[in-house]
């Protein structure tokens, strides 16, 4: 992913934030993937309310309903001893409010073209609201 601006996000299929986030992430991907080289990396996670209980295959079937063509990874933990190394790195570089732990589904990070974690956004931040920040790194 070197040379691309990234949005990295933990996702869940059964969250109240799912529909709007997927809709807007797909819109960002469609608008900026080719024109600006944006890459969206989605990591399913079942650590928040058990809202991503499905297998990787079931998750792929679910997200296909949104026509999501960005990169999905296998289900991971984002907190705790078994947290994926990428998520440990992201949290280390950009801590959140009241500590660095991921608080809920759809926490978003922006990583610049040089691999620097430059911004972190709360789960309730709309993907459309990331555009003004993304523009600084294209």
Classify residue 100: in a domain, yes or no: yes
Question: Which pLDDT does position 54 carry in this prediction?
Answer: 96
Host domain of residue 17: 6-137
Classify residue 116: in a domain, yes or no: yes
Classify residue 12: in a domain, yes or no: yes
Active site residue 60: no
Classify residue 118: in a domain, yes or no: yes
Domain count, the chain: 1
Q: pTM score, two decimals?
A: 0.97
Classify residue 1: in a domain, yes or no: no
Q: Which of 59, 33, 35, 37 is nearest to 46 (CA)?
A: 59
Query: What CATH number is associated with residue 116?
Result: 3.40.30.10
Question: Which pLDDT does position 98 carry in this prediction?
Answer: 81
The rounded distance, in Å, linking the Cα atoms of 13 and 23 is 13
Question: Which pLDDT does position 96 carry in this prediction?
Answer: 86
**Averages of pLDDT over each 10 residues, the chain, 138 residues:** 98 98 98 98 99 96 96 98 98 91 98 98 98 97
The rounded distance, in Å, linking the Cα atoms of 100 and 53 is 24
In terms of Cβ atoms closer than 10 Å to its own Cβ (0-12, 13-18, 19+), residue 114 is exposed
Please pick, among 4, 14, 15, 112, the residue that the annotation labels catalytic: 15
Classify residue 101: in a domain, yes or no: yes
């Amino acid at each position: 992913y070197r040379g691309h601006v990234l949005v990295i996000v933990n996702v869940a299929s059964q969250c109240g934030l799912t529909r709007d986030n997927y809709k807007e992430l797909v819109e960002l991907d469609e608008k900026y993937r080719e024109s600006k080289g944006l890459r969206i990396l989605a990591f399913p996670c079942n650590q928040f309310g058990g809202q991503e209980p499905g297998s990787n295959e079931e998750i792929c079937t679910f997200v296909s309903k949104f026509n999501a063509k960005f990169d999905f990874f296998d289900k991971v933990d984002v907190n705790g001893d078994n947290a994926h190394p990428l998520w440990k790195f992201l949290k280390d570089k950009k801590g959140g409010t009241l500590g660095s732990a991921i608080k809920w589904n759809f926490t978003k990070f922006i990583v610049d073209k040089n691999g620097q974690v430059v911004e972190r956004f709360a789960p309730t931040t709309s993907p459309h609201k990331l555009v003004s920040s993304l523009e600084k790194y294209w």
